[in-house]
Amino acid sequence: MTGSKDIARIIKMHRKAANLTQLQLAELAGVGKTVVFDIEKGKKTVKLDTLMKILKVLNIEIQLRSPLQHNTIGINEKS
């Protein structure tokens, strides 16, 4: 499982590869610079929607895997 430190490392690596400062990334994602700093430091209380904005700008995709996935194929969720 990927933890907050792993996510932080990946985001920072992609930001630097894109030659973006934390401020530039924040502006592109429509979030505050402090959010980018917090994410890159592995802060665990970042909102999911905020994280998703950062990931979208950096073209990073999250994939979820579950042992229950094969049991739910073709079943509509009711919630």
CATH of the structural domain 1-79, one choice from 2.40.50.140, 3.40.50.300, 1.10.260.40, 1.10.3720.10: 1.10.260.40
pLDDT along the chain (79 residues), means of 10: 86 97 98 95 92 97 83 56
Helix (H, G, I), strand (E, B) or coil at 10: helix
Q: How many CB atoms lie within 10 A of CB 14?
A: 17
Domain ranges of the chain: 1-79
Measured between alpha carbons, how far is 25 from 54 in angstroms, rounded to an integer? 7
Say what the pTM is: 0.79
Looking at residue 3, what is its pLDDT? 86
